[in-house]
Every structure is written in structure tokens, then in C-alpha cells.
Structure 1
Amino acid sequence: MDFISWMNQFRMDFCTEPANLKRTLEEFRTKFLTKWIEGDLNRNGAELTEQYNEAVRQGKESIENLKKNEKQRRQQSQMSQKVLESHIAKARMLKEELTRLKTEADTRLQKKENMTEELQKVLEEKDHDSQKILAQEKTTKERLLELEKSAEWFRNNLGLQFRKISGNKLQMIFTSVDDKDPKAPCSFHVQIDDSRKYIISNCEPPVEELDCLVEKLNATNNLSGFVQAIRKAFKTKMTR
């Protein structure tokens, strides 16, 4: 029943009896509210459906965007991981190279210190040897000077002459030993070794007790006594 038909029925009921009018009003109210609610619900439902569909569409777009962003972040993370691994590898290589260089530097420094110590020892030994040589030269010069000072006395009293020969040796020559032949020479060579001992060689004529005389000379360091003793030995040898 449409609204016009319902209105005609309402007029008929209104004209007939009040009971029917009340019932007709109740039906009208019910039908009108039902129609209004259904229309409003339909309109709201369409709007809600549209809003829901739009929300779903936007949600799908957001999900797609999130997936893309997640994929990009994953790719960036992988690239960052590769870069980090590359940096770690380079850092490891640099650390190994630094360790090698440090070891090499320590080795060279140790060699330098060892060479410095060896050089210092060599310099000290050289200085010691130089001082030793100077002391020996000084001793030799002093002994030669002593011999030269004594030469005059020996020459005047014992007919002794001195002659320097090669090898830092001194030749002592006696004359006036043999009464039968005063010009006949008797001689020997004398030198001083590094241990400051006398060495007697080239004794002419040979003297049997020469070794004992040399041993006594080095024990007493009495050169004058040795010269007198060997001259006496020469004289004894010449008069036999």
C-alpha cells in the first residue's frame, strides 16, 4: 500500500470510527519509521561501504608502500653489510700490516742497539789497544834511552859499542876482551817483547850459560849486571 492509498484509507477510517483511526495511526507510524530507518540505513550503509572500501584501498596502498620500503631497507641493509664487511676486511689487513711493520721496526731497532753495543766494544778495545801500544812504545823508548845512557859508560869502561838494527833490536859489541887480540869483537842482540821481557839472540861467540844469564836478567831487570856477566863469559871463552 502506497502513501496515497494509505491516506485515503485514513480518511475513511477517520470518518467511520475512532478505534480504526487509532489503529491506522499506529500502522502509519510504524510503516513511516520503518521506511525512514531503512532509507537512512541504506544511505549510511552505502557511505560506510564506500568509506570501508576507501580505507581498504588506502590500507592496501600503505601495505604496498611498506613492502617497497621494506625491500629498499633490506637492499640498503645488505649493501651496508657488504660495505661493513669490506671495511672490516681492510681494517684487518691494515692491522696485520701494522703488526708486521712494528715487528720489523722492533727487529731493526734491536739490530741497531746490538750494532751500537758492538761498535762501542770495538771502540773501547781500540782505545785499550791504543793505550797499550802507547804504553809499550813509552816503555820501549824508556828502555832504549836507558841503554843509550848506559852506552857511554860501557864504551869507556868495557870497550862496548851499541848499534841499532832493524826489528827494534840493539846490537852490543865488545872489544878489548881478548888480550891477545883486543880488536876481536864479541856481540849479541837485545830486544824487549810485548811482555817487557828481554830477548837475547845472535850471541857470538856462543856462551853456554846464556840461558841462565837471560833468566836472571828478566828476574832482576839488572841490564848492567847482565852486560858485565856476559862480557866475563866472553872473556873466559876467548882465553881458553
Structure 2
Amino acid sequence: MASIKDPDVGEQFSSKLEEIRTKLLKQAMGEAMNEATAQFCQGHKQYMKSVLETCAKKCKEDETMFATIQAYTEDLKAKRSVMKEKNTECPEILEEIEDKERHKELLIQKLEKLKQEQAKNRELLHSQNKANKDRLKNLNKMKDIFQERLSLEIRKIQGEKLQFIFRNISHEKPESAFTFLLRINEDGVYQIVSCDPPLAQMDYLERRLQETNNFSAFLANVRKEFVALHNATKTT
């Protein structure tokens, strides 16, 4: 049995405690990241459900318009047949036919517009689905970087928002938190809701994230800005 006076005993005990603490921290960070990813997936499913419901509604409207146009066409044919048989002019019927012809043209134009809108919605849905899959893939790839290299904690706030918490910014107080709150709007665009402490460059970093979609570079730059702000505060 090792002697308590042996200096290596204390060092081994401290090393073991540090190893246990690191494993627990990684486990907690992994659970928080998985929860945030699941929430993002749920939001994406709800958005796709809403778009599909809108497309279904548009299709029903198209069917109604087709039926109306067909009814007008049959009615016009019948009236023309009556006019041909009587071989006489009927101003009232002619005017009604002209009105229905104009109405028919308007319905055809509206139908064409609805088709164009549906095509745009399908294209938007496809693009949004691909973009969201890419974001999920990138988040999973960057999980280890977030936890181990940037000392970053991610929390789910109010369902659709994520809070990013940086630590080890201050050497004097490594547990001090530097945070910002992020959301993804209905168009799939990253938006910064708040930042504590405020960063002068946050608006610029947000625009760069929206332009490049490079989330790992964005997080690294935010951490750099927090470090620079902390060092500037120390020197003043």
C-alpha cells in the first residue's frame, strides 16, 4: 500500500479526478447537442408539413377552376348550338357569351399564375430541405470541435432558439460565461437574437454567416471576438 507521504499519490489522485470530470462534461455536452439537433429536426418537419398542406390546398383550387372552366365551355357550346338552330341574333346571349369568355380568360390567367406559384413553392421546398439537411450534417460534424476545442456549451431555449455558451475565455475566471442566442427563421436563415456581453462585430459576423453558411468559422470568430473584448477590458 502506497504511503500518503508519497508525492506521487496526490498527483495520481488529482489526475484521476480530472479524467472523471472531463468524461462527465463530454457526456453532458453530447446530450445537449443531441437535444438541440432533435429540436431542429422537429422544426424542419413542421415547416415541411405546412408547405405540403399549402400545396394540397392549391391543387384543390386548381381542380375547382378546371371544373368551372369546363362548365363554362359546355354552356357556351350549348348556347351556340341554340343560336345556330334559330339562325337569329340574340344580343342578350351574345353579351352573356362574351362575359363568360372574358371570365374564362381571367380564370385561365389565374390558373397559370397558381401553377407558377406552385412550381416556385416546390423549388423552394426542395432547396430548403437540402439546406436544412446540410446544416444538420455540419452540426453533427462539428460536435467534437464545439465541445473539446472551443469549450462551448449549447442549450435549447424556448424551443426554436439555441444558446451558445463559451467558457475558458478568462484565465482568471475560466467559468465566466460569454453567450449569444441564435434562431433559424422560417426561411432557414440564421439570426442572432442577443449577445452577452455585446460584440461590436456581431452584425458583421451574422451577415458573413448568412452569406457563407460556414457555421464552424462563425463560432471560431465569435470566440476570438469574446477573447479580444475580454483582453481589452483587462487593459483599461
CA RMSD of aligned residues (A): 3.0
Deviation at 1:193, TM superposition (A): 5.3
What secondary structure does 2:88 align onto? helix
Larger-gyration structure (1/2): 1
Deviation at 1:108, TM superposition (A): 0.9
Looking at structure 2, the residues matched to 167 and 140 of structure 1 have their Cα atoms a distance apart, in angstroms, of 17
Deviation at 1:157, TM superposition (A): 1.2
Instruction: Tell me the percent identity.
Output: 31
In terms of mean alpha carbon deviation, does 163-172 or 198-207 score higher?
163-172
Looking at structure 1, the residues matched to 108 and 127 of structure 2 have their Cα atoms a distance apart, in angstroms, of 28
Deviation at 1:178, TM superposition (A): 2.0
Deviation at 1:166, TM superposition (A): 4.7
Q: Does structure 2 retain, via aligned residues, the 8 Å contact 1:200–1:214?
A: yes
Counterpart pick for 1:174 among 150, 160, 166: 166
Structure 1 residues 90-169: aligned runs within 5 Å: 95-96=88-89, 98-166=90-158, 168-169=160-161
Aligned residues between the structures: 147
Relative contact order, CA 8 A, sep 6+: which one is greater?
Answer: 2
Deviation at 1:95, TM superposition (A): 3.3
Deviation at 1:113, TM superposition (A): 3.0
CA spacing shift, 1:128–1:209, aligned 2, 3 Å: closer
Match of 1:62 in 2: none
Give structure 1 stretches of 5+ with no counterpart. 1-92
Structure 1 residues 3-42: aligned runs within 5 Å: none
Q: Does structure 2 retain, via aligned residues, the 8 Å contact 1:151–1:162?
A: no
1:203 aligns with 2:195: yes
Counterpart pick for 2:225 among 215, 233, 238: 233
Deviation at 1:137, TM superposition (A): 3.9
- Structure 1 length-normalised TM: 0.50
Q: Aligned partner of 2:225: which letter?
A: A
Deviation at 1:215, TM superposition (A): 4.0
Q: Does structure 2 retain, via aligned residues, the 8 Å contact 1:174–1:187?
A: yes
What secondary structure does 1:95 align onto? coil
Counterpart pick for 2:180 among 170, 188, 204: 188
Looking at structure 2, the residues matched to 196 and 181 of structure 1 have their Cα atoms a distance apart, in angstroms, of 36
Looking at structure 2, the residues matched to 170 and 134 of structure 1 have their Cα atoms a distance apart, in angstroms, of 25
